[in-house]
Chain A
Amino acid sequence: MTARIHPVLGILTGIVFLFLLAPLVIIVGAAFSDTSYLTFPPRGLTFHWFANIFAIEAFRTTAVTSLEVAFLGTGLSLLIGVPAAYALNRYRVELPKWLATLFVLPILVPEIVFGFSLLKSITIGLGLPVLPSLILGHALLVLPYSVRVVGASLAAFDFSVEEAAISLGCPPVKTFLTVVLPNIRAGVIAAFILAFITSINDVSVSVFLTGPGISTLPIQILAHMEQFFDPTIASVSVLLMLVTVGVMAIVEATLGLTFLTK
Chain B
Amino acid sequence: MTVSLTIENLSAHYGSTQVLKDLSLSVAAGELVSLLGSSGCGKTTTLRIVAGFLQPTSGHVRLGDRDLTTLAAHARDIGLVFQNYALFPHLTVMDNVSFGLKQRGVAKADRLVRAGAMLERVGLSALADRLPSALSGGQKQRVALARALVIEPPLLMFDEPLSNLDAKLRVDMRVEIRQLQKANGTTSLYVTHDQEEAFSISDRVAIMNAGRIMQLDTPEVLYQKPANAFVARFVGFENLIPLTVKARDGANVTAEAAGGASLNLSQDIFGAIPDRFMLAARADGLAVKAVAGKGIAATLGTRTYLGRAYQYQCSTAVGDLVANGTLSEPLEPGTAAVLEPVAEQCCILAPEA
Contact = CB atoms under 8 A, between A and B. Distances in A.
A168 B75 CA distance: 9
B73 A158 contact: no
B308 interface: no
B86 A164 contact: yes
Interface residues of A, number: 17
Nearest to B104: A169
Interface in A160-198: 160-161, 163-172, 175, 179, 182-183
A163 B90 contact: no
Chain A's interface: helix, strand, loop or mixed, by majority? helix
Of B73, B75, B77, B151, chain A has the most CB atoms within 10 Å of the CB of B73
A164 B74 contact: no
A160 B83 CA distance: 9
Interface string A146-167: 0000000000001011011111
Contacts, number: 64
A161 B74 contact: no
Interface in B180-199: none
A167 B88 contact: no
A223 B309 CA distance: 94
A175 B99 CA distance: 11
A183 B77 contact: no
Contact of B151 (A161, A169, A171): A169
B289 interface: no
Interface in B151-199: 151
Contact of A163 (B51, B104, B144): B51
A186 B77 CA distance: 32
B53 interface: yes
Contacts of B204: none
Nearest to A160: B86
A168 B89 contact: no
B140 interface: no
A167 B147 CA distance: 11
B82 A164 contact: yes
Given A163-B86, A166-B73, A169-B75, 5 more contacts: A164-B86, A165-B99, A167-B51, A168-B74, A168-B147
6 contacts: A163-B82, A164-B147, A166-B52, A167-B51, A167-B80, A169-B104
